[in-house]
Amino acid sequence: MKILKTAAALAVGVALLTGCNDDDVKYVDHTEVKIAAYNLSFDRATFAELVAEMAITSAEQKTLVDAYLADPDAMELVDKTTAEKIIQIRNVAAIIQKTRPDVLMMGEYNNDGTGEDLSALEGFQANYLSVAQSIEGAGGEADLEPIEYPFAESYGTNTGLLSGFDLNNDGYIATAEDVGTNEYAGDTWGFGKYHGQYAFALMSKYEIDAKNTRTFQDFKWKDLEGAENPLLDGENWYTDEEWQQMTLSSKNHVDAPILVPTKDGTETIHILMSHPTPPVFDTGKNKLQNAAEVEFWHNYVTNSQDFYDDAGNTGALKEGAHFVIVGDQNLDAAVGAGDGFTEVMAALHADPVVNQNVTNGDLYPTSFGAAEYAADRSSEHPYPNRITAEFHTAFGGINADHAIPSASLNIVDSGVYWQASYQEGRMLFNDARIGQWGTGKDVSSDHRMVWIKAKF
């Protein structure tokens, strides 16, 4: 277990673990637990860039943002770029402060490749999450309540981890000298221009049971039930040697138990995290891998096959255990939505092991912003599956991001935080003053937070 070392976070952590009665400490509600997945789009060119941005103090941020809002073209290019990144991070922090999840899986949160360096997470907590942000975005009044996460973990990733093979079949085997290029990224176990790009992290108000956390970074694709070497024009995509070594996870698959104290004792919820490769950008291999990465969790929660983790332990999730599958899965369950095998996600959604009220019922997460975005799309950019547009979580027009709870959890609420033009908070998604487009990653992210709330 890694604990963020901010004073406020430590105070909350002590209160949670010892039952301190200090009136100055805000206690979390142990009756209802809000669990969210959010692809933050913090995909910087290097990990050092993200660390540096997170280290900028609130006062320094204000100076840069004020100058940007006054006249961005009058700024030095480096300061202008930094100001735009600060605005993005602040808006993401504002979304987190507004929605206030108790447990948050954060996609595209770069790390050092191993997950050992928590400096970017510590900076995010100290300089953004612990500082009041604005529901009106850049330059707005700081009217949101800070939020503290005493516990945080970052995880090893296959993105940018060189394989030593020609995995993209371009006739060239990348080396460390190619770092930062597409040639390098194409020959890594998961696409990334350096080790740690596109990684994910977890922040929590509850203790993360690191001792019993399982990671599956090294689990081989060939060992998934029914897996076969992908074919391209009748030929295997991978050589026999490559197929024996090819990892299933483009990033990682992580089972992190969260320990929630309640009046009836400690409840354990397994946070099952992954971020499968997009089912595009090649001739079909990614589509198959994306499906396999989703099938991994389906097999894991149904105990339909044996798994080995990175510590050498075997087995799947125990029957009856609470879980929530979270992350940008890059896959929708709706027929025809996106480029992936939607039937794979549909099968997971239909399995009675997951909460059917969430995956096929009244609590399927929705937003007004997504529906409005679909209606506003021009005929030159047709929007697929308009009938399910309220379910969408990403600009691509699909329900890419998921928080899929077990049937054992009593889910009382859910949602996607995507504000329509007539709703408070719209400036956190659309702000013509910022960047080139005034939307997407310019302002916050091209994905939306999806969340569910469990009641004990």
Q: What are the pLDDT digits (tens) for 171-222?
A: 999 999 999 999 999 999 999 999 999 999 999 999 999 999 999 999 999 9
203 with 185, same domain: the answer is: no
Tell me: pLDDT of 131 over 90: yes
346 with 437, same domain: the answer is: yes
**378-390: pLDDT as tens digits:** 544 554 455 578 8
Q: Model-level pTM?
A: 0.93
CATH number at residue 59: 3.60.10.10
151 with 218, same domain: the answer is: yes
Cα 441-447-451 angle, rounded to 5 deg: 140
45 with 139, same domain: the answer is: yes
CA-to-CA distance for 447 and 302, rounded, in angstroms?
Answer: 29
Question: Of 194, 216, 247, at which residue does a domain stop?
Answer: 194
CA distance to 7, 159, 180, 292, 352, per residue, from 406 (Å):
35, 29, 40, 20, 9
Instruction: Provide the 8-state DSSP code for 188.
Output: B
CA distance to 163, 174, 284, 346, per residue, from 166 (Å):
8, 7, 17, 33
Does some domain include residue 376? yes
269 with 401, same domain: the answer is: yes
Does some domain include residue 2? no
- Name 387's Cβ contacts closer than 8 Å, sequence gap at least 6: none
- Which amino acid is located at 67 in the chain? A
**311-324: pLDDT as tens digits:** 999 999 999 999 99
End-to-end CA distance of the chain, in Å?
24
167 with 295, same domain: the answer is: no
Question: Of 194, 214, 237, at which residue does a domain stop?
Answer: 194
165 with 301, same domain: the answer is: no
pLDDT > 70 in the chain, percent: 91
Residue with token string 């976070």? 9
Q: Which domain holds residue 189?
A: 160-194
92 with 123, same domain: the answer is: yes
349 with 450, same domain: the answer is: yes
Does some domain include residue 444? yes
109 with 180, same domain: the answer is: no
Residue among 221, 403, 219 at smallest CA distance from 329: 403
Question: Of 150, 175, 194, at which residue does a domain stop?
Answer: 194
Domain count, the chain: 2
Distance of alpha carbon 103 from the chain centroid = 12
The whole-number pLDDT of residue 30 equals 67
CA-to-CA distance for 204 and 105, rounded, in angstroms?
Answer: 9
Does some domain include residue 390? yes
